[in-house]
Amino acid sequence: MPAKTDHEARRRDVSAAVWKVLAADGFSGLTLRAVAAEMGVSTGLVMHYFPSKHALIVHALEVAEERTRALIPEVADLRTALAAALPVSPEAIEINRVWVSSWDVALAEPELGALEQARYRRWRARLRPLVIEAQTTGDLPTGDPSDLVAGLAAFTHGLVVQALFDPRTFGRKRLLHLLDAHLSALRPPDGRPGTIAPRVQKPRAGASR
């Protein structure tokens, strides 16, 4: 038992070092040597846990997803879940910077791309019951919840990218304002569950009354 405990503790140490390298240098700087240097150990010790850079990257993606999930409370409403995904805190900024830096390797390697695809599916699956609940309470219109989930995920991640590249324009206050404005725009005008008020056609100029 102690040997297993030591192994798990060492693996956690490697995971922590992986994250420090990612936070500082992104996936482009993630190497076995960089992780070993961060830990102050030999490359051989790191390779005992992750025999290749590919294995190290796969683990790094897992660590990033775990940290992302930890940002969102287990019991959360839709707005809380979406806000937690935005770079509105130092930790969330760090996590999102790591995710964006992973896109290059995920697009270049089909296996890593498949892992990223699965991650987005899990993210959408986590949002789906929250969207359905919002439809039930009248905060979102009726329709296929999968479409609403896809749209909200795309909107949120669009804000993430803009905030990372232009943090002065897209600071915390504005990000949350834009999220609230988007959710308000989706809310049915009459506020009743699943109903959408009909659009009133304005008479054209010169038309008889």
- Output the DSSP codes for 125-194: HHHHHHHHHHHHTTSS-SS-HHHHHHHHHHHHHHHHHHHHH-TTTS-HHHHHHHHHHHHHHHS-TT--TT
The predicted structure's pLDDT at residue 130: 96
Q: What are the distances in angstroms from CA 134 to CA 21, 57, 174, 176?
A: 39, 37, 23, 18
Q: What is the pTM of this model?
A: 0.79
For the 65-186 domain, the top CATH level (class) is mainly alpha
pLDDT at 192: 55
Gap between the Cα atoms of 38 and 31, Å rounded: 11
Considering the domain 1-51, what is its CATH architecture?
Answer: Orthogonal Bundle (1.10)
Query: Which whole number is the average pLDDT over 188-205?
Result: 48
Q: What is the mean pLDDT of the chain?
A: 85
pLDDT at 207: 44
The closest alpha carbon to 170, from 156, 186, 154, 187, belongs to 156
pLDDT given for residue 120 in this prediction: 92
**Residue 5 binned pLDDT confidence (cut-offs 50, 70, 90):** low
Confidence of residue 198 (pLDDT cuts 50, 70, 90): very low
The whole-number average pLDDT for the span 190-209 is 43
11 pLDDT more than 70 = yes
Mean pLDDT for 46-72 is 85
Instruction: State residue 138's pLDDT score.
Output: 93
Q: 61 pLDDT band (50/70/90 cuts)?
A: confident
Say yes or no to pLDDT of 47 above 60: yes
The pLDDT of residue 54 is above 80: yes
User: Taking residues 186-209, what's their average pLDDT?
Assistant: 51
Residues of the chain with CATH 1.10.357.10: 65-186
Predicted confidence at residue 81, as pLDDT, reads 93
Mean pLDDT over 142-168 rounds to 96
Q: Single out the residue of 65, 66, 17, 12 nearest to residue 42, CA to CA.
A: 17
User: pLDDT band at residue 82, thresholds of 50, 70 and 90?
Assistant: very high
Q: Where in the chain is the domain with CATH 1.10.10?
A: 1-51
